[in-house]
Amino acid sequence: MDAIRVHPAPSSCRPYSPSNPVPASALNLDRNVPVPKPSKPGELLIRLKATTVVRDMLTWPETDVHEYAIIGNDFSGIVAEIYEENSDFKPGDEVFGMTHVDRAAAWAEFTIATQEEIAHKPSTLTWEQAAALPLSAQTAYEALFSHAGVPIPSVEPALENRADPNHTHQRILITGAAGAVGMHLVQLAAAAGLYVVAATSFNARNQDFLHRLGADETIEYTVLGNHRSRFDFIIDAVGGDVLAKSWECVKDYGMIISVDSASYDFVKEHEKLGIRRLGVRALFFIVAGSSEALQYLARLAERGFLQSLVIETYRFNSVREAYEHANGRHTGRGKVVLVN
């Protein structure tokens, strides 16, 4: 099969590590890589149609765990083989999902997934749109419903109703609202009936887009100081100074959640700095993913309540260019996607 693999550093260079991250030049499209086989109950072989490129993913620990690693998590594709006959899926089923972070391996013609990592592909989405959904949308789903404890709304036409500022809806602040996770947070929070305030660095560019997704207000980070003790929930996808300012904006006994990968230890760090407030719950988490969440997101997408955006599509043989695009400054919205 064709597979994009991370080749080891040249002998004249230091081995790749967290302090010496993998460069895009280490990504190579290799031919005749052995096709994996389902080997455990619940495993399936998926023939890939599309997968995604995530910003900074070559800095993730799994990229240098072993030589010639195949990375990538998001995917859409067709079930090619199952391990057991009593599977919930059968060969030929169109599916989408996210392989566990410990296994990755979606940047290939075929990959192994488990039943808990996939769901039937939303019929209204293209292969590329379906592949762009799992990682970001499931992160938003778990932040809101699993960790913040917001009740999961039923999938009904009533979801079109947005929060009314004259009512006593709970308020949520979403930072990085125009980003990959943020745009899904805005849509899910609006569907759940929260009063959504979307924060970005540039209001003029983002406000119309975010209002279309369901935001009730849009603000810039520079005015966060004007919103002291205003929010029941703050979900952060930015980190840094923006996350630090969140302690001023959350209500007493409210909650702060960060999904910014560099903010994994922010609670302890902020406690040392003396900016943590007692009574405010705060946490960082890494998405786990589940078939249940994917099924729910698929139903929302099929009914038009959840958009999945793709900024650009590249072939496997242009993976280096695709990675540079995902990590560069661009004006489009959505995920960079790879197709074989």
Mean pLDDT of 329-338: 84
Q: For the segment 124-165, what is each residue's pLDDT rounded down to a tens digit?
A: 999 999 999 999 999 999 999 999 999 998 886 445 544 455
Q: Mapping DSSP to helix (H, G, I), strand (E, B) and coil, where does residue 60 land?
A: coil
Instruction: Answer yes or no: is pLDDT of 168 > 60.
Output: no
Which of 17-26, 136-145, 246-255, 262-271 is the least confident region?
17-26
Other CB atoms within a 10 A radius of the CB of residue 275 amount to 13
Q: For the segment 280-298, what is each residue's pLDDT rounded down to a tens digit?
A: 999 999 999 999 999 999 9
Whole-angstrom Cα distance, residue 197 to residue 132?
A: 24
Q: Assign domain 137-284 to a CATH class.
A: alpha beta
Tell me the pTM: 0.93
Instruction: Answer yes or no: is pLDDT of 334 > 80.
Output: yes
Tell me which of 176 and 204 has the higher pLDDT. Answer: 176
For the chain, percent of residues with pLDDT exceeding 70 = 95
| φ, ψ (nearest 5 deg) of residue 82 | -120, 155
Tell me which of 324 and 168 has the higher pLDDT. Answer: 324
Mean pLDDT of 115-130: 97
- Pairing, β 250-258 against β 281-284: parallel
Ranges of CATH 3.90.180.10 domains, the chain? 3-133+308-339
Whole-angstrom Cα distance, residue 19 to residue 33?
A: 29
Give the architecture-level CATH label for domain 3-133+308-339.
Answer: Alpha-Beta Complex (3.90)
Can you read off the two tokens belonging to residue 67? 């030589």
Ranges of CATH 3.40.50.720 domains, the chain? 137-284
* pLDDT score for 158: 43
